[in-house]
């Protein structure tokens, strides 16, 4: 029965307003009235309403997905606005989830929104994922990525996966029945060490727009049951060269997660591998060493030490342009790449607190100095970013 016949026969449950709103969908044979009804009945969970979640949620809401769950606990920051198109200047400082729901409701008031203002963790992941038909992962850190993957495999829900870094984007679907999961490709996160995050490495603002829209495309196709899905295929997009490539991803019989029975899969959080303040667990208050042997100090502890009788040397290992933009008063600049030829300039007897933007490069500097006999090197956990948030808001963030 054609779309017009269905409507004429009154067998469609879509209202007149819905018929008008989704007119361009209804004329596509792969969607039609039935497909639009399927979209309306669908429940999609978006993990993260940031660079990827912004375009994905806007398109899913516009497409008429009936229920959209959003997991997001962050607030809107100025550095988000270059790519997170859900938000504008007026939203600065607001909880993202509040601003996102407001914006999305403006796009399509027919959608039911279910905000989850929490951080996804091993305790809540399964319950959240099980409540939806499909998950769109737009999170920005490895622990969450692995947790979403494991929960999706356990619950039997597809994980529409996207990632961006600088000019490179990737999309796939993991955890779908019969298909591979993320752990088939990489069983465990990389060991703790130097792994740049978007905060550290940067991302072209348009890129998450493209990749998030591709995720929305795959989610809509999955709901409709139309076309070829990305299960078993990883699409790589190089925005600089403008090239798409596609990699085959077979399911691994040795996969530590999807080769098991769902009941046997236990959800656990993997350690954060980078000091991304929006991603990993909060910096530890005490100074226990992290797995890589670097002693971490919280911003407040550093502030206390600086105010003491024997203040430590503050060593900034960022690049000169970053130092020029903002710094902690009284710090010495030695960019990380110059450290191997300049470390002899530093006083071995003095306590040294090293910092960078988010704590990744400075951890590397601590390891470097410790290996060369500097007994008292400490890392400012979370970098100058955390310093600005927790100690001195006059230090601009970037």
Partner 1 sequence: MELARPVATLELSSEAERVVWRHARSASPEEACGLLLGRLASGRVRVLTVRPARNVAADRRRGYVVDPADLAAGLFAARRRGLELVGFYHSHPEGVALPSARDEAEAWPGVSYLLVSVPAVGSPVLRSYRRCRGATMREETMREERVATVDERPGRE
**Residues with catalytic annotation?**
198, 356
CA 66/CA 71 separation, integer angstroms: 17
The 285-304 site mask, x for binding partner 1 (CB under 8 A), equals --------------------
For residue 194 the two structure tokens come to 């130097």
CA 81/CA 99 separation, integer angstroms: 13
In the set 78, 186, 293, 345, which binds partner 1 (CB under 8 A)? 186
Residue 241 in the binding site for partner 1 (CB under 8 A): yes
Residue 163 in the binding site for partner 1 (CB under 8 A): yes
Residue 174 in the binding site for partner 1 (CB under 8 A): no
Residue 373 in the binding site for partner 1 (CB under 8 A): no
Least separation in angstroms between residue 292's CB and partner 1 is 8
CA 395/CA 387 separation, integer angstroms: 8
Least separation in angstroms between residue 140's CB and partner 1 is 6
Instruction: List CB contacts of 139: < 8 A, sequence separation 6 or more.
Output: 47, 48, 120, 145, 148, 279
Residue 271 in the binding site for partner 1 (CB under 8 A): no
In 64-134, alpha helices (H): 96-107, 125-130
Judged by DSSP in three states, 206 sits in helix
Burial class (CB in 10 A: 0-12, 13-18, 19+), 330: exposed
Cβ neighbours of 177 (radius 10 Å): 10
Q: Where are the beta strands (DSSP E) in 182-295?
A: 233-238, 243-248
Residue 66 in the binding site for partner 1 (CB under 8 A): no
Residues in contact with partner 1, counted by CB under 8 A, come to a total of 40
Least separation in angstroms between residue 340's CB and partner 1 is 8
Stretch that binds partner 1, among 72-80, 87-95, 122-130, 268-276 (CB under 8 A): 268-276
Residue 243 in the binding site for partner 1 (CB under 8 A): yes
User: Scanning the structure block, which residue is given the tokens 């005490």?
Assistant: 286
The conformation of residue 289, written as its DSSP 8-state character, comes to: B
In the set 214, 231, 249, 298, which binds partner 1 (CB under 8 A)? 249
- Give 46 or 104: the residue with its C-beta nearer to partner 1: 46
Considering only CA atoms, which of 197, 196, 51 is closest in space to residue 137? 51
Residue 263 in the binding site for partner 1 (CB under 8 A): no
Residue 166 in the binding site for partner 1 (CB under 8 A): yes
Least separation in angstroms between residue 247's CB and partner 1 is 4
- Give 61 or 369: the residue with its C-beta nearer to partner 1: 369
Specify whether the backbone of 134 is left (phi greater than 0), alpha (psi in -120 to 50) or beta.
beta
In 179-287, alpha helices (H): 182-185, 198-201, 206-224
The 198-237 site mask, x for binding partner 1 (CB under 8 A), equals x-xx--------------------------------x-x-
For residue 274 the two structure tokens come to 């980078």
Residue 324 in the binding site for partner 1 (CB under 8 A): no
Considering only CA atoms, which of 44, 212, 47 is closest in space to residue 134? 44
In the set 164, 207, 352, 386, which binds partner 1 (CB under 8 A)? 164
Stretch that binds partner 1, among 20-28, 32-40, 72-80, 240-248 (CB under 8 A): 240-248
Contact residues: partner 1, CB under 8 A? 139-142, 145, 163-166, 168, 170, 185-186, 190-191, 193-198, 200-201, 234, 236, 240-241, 243, 245-249, 273-274, 276, 340, 360-361, 364
């Amino acid at each position: 029965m054609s779309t017009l016949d269905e409507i004429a026969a009154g067998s469609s449950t879509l209202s007149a307003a819905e018929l008008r709103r989704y007119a361009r969908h209804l004329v596509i044979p792969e969607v039609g009235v039935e497909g639009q009804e399927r979209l309306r009945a669908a429940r999609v969970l978006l993990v993260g309403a940031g660079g990827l979640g912004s375009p994905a949620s806007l398109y899913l809401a516009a497409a008429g997905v009936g229920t959209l769950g959003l997991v997001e606990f962050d607030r809107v920051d100025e550095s988000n606005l270059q790519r997170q198109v859900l938000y504008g200047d007026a939203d600065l400082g607001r909880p993202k989830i509040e601003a996102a729901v407001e914006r999305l409701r403006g796009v399509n008031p027919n959608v039911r929104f279910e905000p989850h203002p929490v951080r996804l963790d091993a305790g809540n992941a399964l319950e959240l994922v099980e409540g939806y038909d499909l998950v769109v992962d737009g999170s920005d850190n490895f622990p969450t990525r692995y947790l979403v993957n494991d929960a999706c495999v356990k619950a039997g829900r597809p994980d529409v996966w996207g990632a961006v870094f600088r000019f490179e984007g990737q999309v796939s679907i993991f955890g779908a029945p019969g298909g591979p999961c993320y752990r088939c490709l990489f069983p465990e996160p990389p060991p703790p060490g130097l792994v740049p995050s978007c905060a550290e490495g940067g991302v072209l603002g348009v890129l998450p727009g493209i990749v998030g829209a591709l995720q929305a495309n795959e989610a809509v196709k999955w709901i409709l049951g139309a076309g070829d899905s990305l299960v078993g295929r990883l699409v790589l997009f190089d925005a600089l060269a403008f090239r798409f490539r596609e990699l085959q991803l077979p399911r691994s019989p040795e996969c530590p997660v999807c080769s098991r029975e769902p009941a046997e899969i236990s959800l656990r959080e993997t350690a954060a591998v980078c000091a991304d303040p929006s991603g990993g667990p909060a910096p530890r208050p005490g100074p226990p060493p992290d797995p890589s042997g670097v002693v971490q100090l919280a911003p407040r502890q550093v502030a206390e030490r600086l105010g003491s009788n024997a203040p430590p040397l503050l060593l900034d290992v960022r690049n000169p342009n970053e130092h020029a933009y903002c710094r902690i008063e009284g710090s010495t600049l030695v960019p990380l790449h110059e450290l191997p030829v300049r470390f002899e300039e530093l006083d071995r007897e003095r306590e040294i607190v090293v910092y960078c933007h988010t704590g990744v490069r400075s951890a590397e500097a601590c390891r470097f100095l410790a290996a060369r006999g500097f007994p008292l090197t400490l890392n400012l956990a979370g970098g100058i970013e955390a310093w600005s948030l927790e100690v001195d808001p006059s230090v601009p963030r970037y």
